[in-house]
Amino acid sequence: MVNKSAVLGVLLALILPLLCYWVFNYYSGDAVHMPRRYYVDTVLTKVVNGKESTDTVWHKLADFTLINQLGDTVSMADLNGKVIVADFFFTHCPSICPTLTNNMKKLQNALKLKDDTRLVDTTFVQFLSFSVDPVRDSAVQLKKYADRYGVNHEVWWMLTGPKKTIYDFALNEVKLGIVDGEGVDSNFIHTEKMVLIDKDRVVRGYYNGLDSMAMRDLAADIVLLMLEKDKKKKRNPFRK
């Protein structure tokens, strides 16, 4: 019997460099659809030479200061220029959290830091797992959990700190209450969603972290955001 998790891991490991090559060659064409942006803060209107134009200001996530599994104080400001994949979990969770962590681990492995066997520089991605039970999830507890799942501490932070900071970020910045609708409990968040955030701190997608097809879409969208960044800076996404 074929192990679906193993197959997903292999596909994720293969799809990123292949997609990167394909998208890079066709990036200027109409076939490529970049991940949409979420949540407009305001729309600015101006008139230049008698012509009216508008500029959308997208909601930019606020900074936070929390503690990672190594006991270091970290913030969003430490991740300038990086694409972020975030989820929300707790270490004592007996249901969806182990699957979320395993699927995030597959992404981590597919985007292995400075892997010389791949053509793509993947140091642009950071994974964040926010504990929604920070009272029990100390940095020490998070470190034990991270080590059990094979977390690379450089590219994946498991975060704890004041519950208000974490829940404000989840509900008011990432806006999980809007995405999950009536299913979200503002007193105890328990969601299967993974969130893709671009380098400008704008939400670019929500994905069911328990679904293999959604994870495939997330992997593809990570690559697209990498190319979006590189195109703007006129950099070649391939190593020499």
Q: What is the pLDDT of residues 168-219, one digit of tens each?
A: 999 999 999 888 765 566 788 999 999 999 999 999 999 999 999 999 999 9
| Predicted confidence (pLDDT) at residue 26 exceeds the cutoff of 70 | no
Quick one: how many helices (H) and strands (E) in the chain?
6, 9
Mean pLDDT, the chain, integer:
82
Written as six digits, the tokens of 144 are 């034990």
The pLDDT assigned to 51 comes to 80
192 CB neighbour count, 10 Å cutoff: 22
C-beta neighbour count of 160 within 10 angstroms? 27
Q: Would the pLDDT of 52 be above 50?
A: yes
The residue extents of the domains of the chain are: 4-233
Comparing 59 with 119, which gets the higher pLDDT? Answer: 59
Q: What pLDDT, on the 0 to 100 scale, is given for residue 218?
A: 95
Q: Which helix (H) or strand (E) is 100 found in, with range? A: helix 97-110
Phi, psi (deg, nearest 5) at residue 113: -60, 125
The CATH-assigned architecture of domain 4-233 is 3-Layer(aba) Sandwich (3.40)
Report whether 99 contacts 210 (CB < 8 A).
yes
pLDDT in tens, 3-24: 555 555 545 554 555 455 444 4
59 C-beta neighbours (distance < 10 Å), count: 16
pLDDT value at position 40?
87
3-state secondary structure 153-186: CCCEEEEECCHHHHHHHHHHHCCHHHHHHHHCCC
pLDDT score of 111: 78
Q: Which residue shows structure tokens 């969208």?
A: 221
Structure tokens at 112: 């292995």
pLDDT at 211: 96
Lowest mean pLDDT among 34-43, 150-159, 183-192: 183-192
Residue 190, Cβ density class (10 Å: 0-12 exposed, 13-18 middle, ≥19 buried): middle
User: In the Cβ-directed half-sphere of 50, how many Cα atoms lie within 13 Å?
Assistant: 0
Write the single-letter amino acid at 71. Answer: G
**149 φ, ψ to 5°?**
-100, 5
Identify the band that residue 124 occupies on the pLDDT scale cut at 50, 70 and 90. confident
How far is residue 100's CA from residue 93's CA, in Å, rounded to a whole number?
11
pLDDT of residue 16: 52
The pLDDT-based confidence of 25 (bands split at 50, 70, 90) is very low
Find the mean pLDDT for residues 227-234: 58
pLDDT at position 33: 82
The tens digit of pLDDT for each residue in 68-118 reads 999 999 999 999 989 999 999 999 999 999 999 999 999 998 876 545 455
Query: How much is the pTM?
Result: 0.80
Average pLDDT score over residue span 52-60: 84
Confidence category of residue 236, pLDDT binned at 50, 70, 90? very low
Q: What pLDDT, on a 0 to 100 scale, did the predictor assign at position 21?
A: 45
163 close to 135: Cβ distance less than 8 angstroms: yes
